[in-house]
């Protein structure tokens, strides 16, 4: 891809699963000019994952029977097939993404951070170290990983964020984890398995079974199995209260809770309190929902800025969260079709994505309630 002043039909920012998947769908639209800009390397977030972290959504090569691998970003690929594992590590998944880019010849510039985005008479002008790039449409796929949310408590800077290598290092004695959903319990089990005495605090008790079957609101089966094993050791305590403050007292850390009690830890507490939408230089181009997530129309387009689309885990429609690959990939082909149709291109090839269970354009049929 060149960055001379040609105007592209569409630019994608970010070479994670959302950006690569959207680019693959755009490639299925006849004669569309597009490219991907990535500030690091392909799959950079996965290269940055702590070494002990793996996917919690399993991969399996069910593609031939209409059950496309949950972690795949293209109907004809399967991480389980190419990597030979069912729960990829970060670097393994980055390898899968690299292979996909190479195989489908996706035009991509790495080491190219987009630092600002402004409206332009033809669409959008993006600034990056290699100079300005102009495109009629823009897909933001910058991911959530750059924006971990700190716990909203006094002394929050004393906690190690879950994404940091320090949070995963061997800990002696008592460890406190703030936040008890997937990331928090993953870390808690990790430290219990290595002999530490761990307490997890979370007032919303996400470890309880809950009522729905949507994995965005209920722990994944593998997490529940690990949790049960960790509880069996007697070294894990779960407390249904929110942290209210963190203090350092000499060689100890104290976490006070909103139920009035205090916990002592022998190392910095760990904050596993979620991620924000990570909109970076396009933040000002999105309106916000009352819950703070970007407001989108039915085509995942900014309600403030026509032509700007969002791809990835920050997509929310009503109460639906698209926070796993198998969810947000449902929108790659939809967004590609909207962009392609506006550009007057033939989008017929995108129907193959629907056949593979990778295209949902009617959001009313999303959501899960399993009978048993």
Ligand X SMILES: Cc1cc2nc3c(=O)[nH]c(=O)nc-3n(C[C@H](O)[C@H](O)[C@H](O)COP(=O)(O)OP(=O)(O)OC[C@H]3O[C@@H](n4cnc5c(N)ncnc54)[C@H](O)[C@@H]3O)c2cc1C
Tell me the closest approach of the beta carbon of residue 91 to ligand X, in angstroms: 13
When the beta carbons of 13 and 239 are compared against ligand X, the nearer one is: 13
Residues 6+ apart with CB under 8 A from 342: 137
Tell me the closest approach of the beta carbon of residue 36 to ligand X, in angstroms: 9
Tell me the closest approach of the beta carbon of residue 220 to ligand X, in angstroms: 8
Q: What is the rounded distance in angstroms from the CA atom of residue 355 to the CA atom of residue 204?
A: 39
Q: What is the rounded distance in angstroms from the CA atom of residue 214 to the CA atom of residue 17?
A: 21
Residue found by looking up tokens 């900014």 in the block: 302
Contact criterion met (CB below 8 Å) for 322 and 215: no
- Three-class DSSP category at 348: helix
Contact criterion met (CB below 8 Å) for 255 and 268: no
Tell me the closest approach of the beta carbon of residue 165 to ligand X, in angstroms: 13
In terms of C-beta distances under 8 Å and separation of at least 24 residues, what long-range contacts does 252-260 make, across chains too?
A: 253/158, 253/176, 255/176, 255/178, 255/201, 257/201, 258/203
- Three-class DSSP category at 178: strand
Tell me the closest approach of the beta carbon of residue 98 to ligand X, in angstroms: 12
Q: What is the rounded distance in angstroms from the CA atom of residue 98 to the CA atom of residue 112?
A: 16
When the beta carbons of 107 and 245 are compared against ligand X, the nearer one is: 107
Residues 6+ apart with CB under 8 A from 52: 168, 190
Tell me the closest approach of the beta carbon of residue 291 to ligand X, in angstroms: 18
Q: What is the rounded distance in angstroms from the CA atom of residue 191 to the CA atom of residue 186?
A: 9
- Three-class DSSP category at 120: strand
Residue ranges in contact with ligand X by CB under 6 A: 13-19, 37-40, 44-45, 55-57, 113-114, 141-146, 183, 275, 280-281, 312-313, 323-325
When the beta carbons of 7 and 47 are compared against ligand X, the nearer one is: 47
When the beta carbons of 46 and 353 are compared against ligand X, the nearer one is: 46
Tell me the closest approach of the beta carbon of residue 239 to ligand X, in angstroms: 22
When the beta carbons of 138 and 243 are compared against ligand X, the nearer one is: 138
When the beta carbons of 40 and 240 are compared against ligand X, the nearer one is: 40
When the beta carbons of 19 and 35 are compared against ligand X, the nearer one is: 19
- What is the distance between the terminal CA atoms of the chain, rounded to a whole angstrom? 50
When the beta carbons of 9 and 144 are compared against ligand X, the nearer one is: 144
Tell me the closest approach of the beta carbon of residue 26 to ligand X, in angstroms: 15
Residues 6+ apart with CB under 8 A from 350: 25, 28, 29, 333, 336, 337, 340, 359
């Amino acid at each position: 891809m060149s960055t001379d002043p040609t105007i592209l039909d569409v630019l994608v920012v970010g070479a994670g699963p959302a950006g690569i998947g959207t680019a693959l769908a755009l490639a299925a639209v006849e004669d569309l000019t597009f490219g991907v800009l990535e500030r690091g390397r392909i799959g950079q977030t996965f290269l940055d994952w702590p070494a002990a972290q793996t996917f919690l959504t399993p991969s399996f090569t069910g593609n031939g029977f209409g059950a496309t691998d949950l972690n795949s970003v293209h109907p004809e690929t399967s991480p389980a097939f190419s990597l030979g594992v069912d729960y990829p590590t970060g670097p393994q998944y980055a390898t899968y993404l690299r292979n996909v880019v190479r195989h489908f010849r996706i035009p991509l510039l790495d080491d190219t951070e987009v630092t600002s985005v402004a409206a332009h008479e033809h669409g959008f002008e993006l600034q990056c170290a290699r100079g300005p790039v102009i495109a009629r449409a823009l897909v933001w796929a910058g991911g959530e990983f750059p924006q971990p949310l700190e716990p909203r408590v006094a002394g929050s800077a004393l906690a190690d964020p879950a994404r940091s290598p320090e949070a995963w290092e061997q800990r002696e004695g008592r460890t406190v984890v703030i936040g008890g959903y997937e990331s928090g319990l993953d870390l808690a089990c990790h430290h219990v398995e290595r002999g530490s005495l761990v307490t997890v605090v979370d007032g919303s008790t996400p470890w309880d079974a809950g009522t729905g079957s949507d994995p965005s609101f209920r722990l994944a089966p593998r997490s529940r199995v690990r949790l049960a094993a960790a509880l069996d050791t007697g070294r894990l305590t779960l407390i249904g209260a929110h942290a209210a403050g963190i203090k350092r007292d000499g060689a100890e850390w104290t976490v006070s809770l909103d139920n009035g009690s205090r916990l002592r830890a022998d190392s910095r507490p760990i904050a596993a309190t979620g991620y924000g939408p990570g909109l970076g230089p396009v933040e000002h181009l999105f309106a916000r929902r009352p819950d703070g997530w970007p407001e989108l129309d039915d085509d995942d387009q900014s309600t403030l800025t026509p032509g700007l689309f969002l791809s990835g885990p920050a997509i929310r429609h009503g109460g639906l969260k698209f926070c796993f690959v198998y969810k947000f990939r449902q929108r790659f082909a939809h967004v590609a079709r909207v962009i392609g149709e506006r550009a007057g291109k033939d989008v017929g090839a995108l129907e193959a994505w629907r056949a593979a269970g990778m295209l949902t354009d009617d959001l009313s049929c999303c959501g899960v309630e399993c009978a048993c």
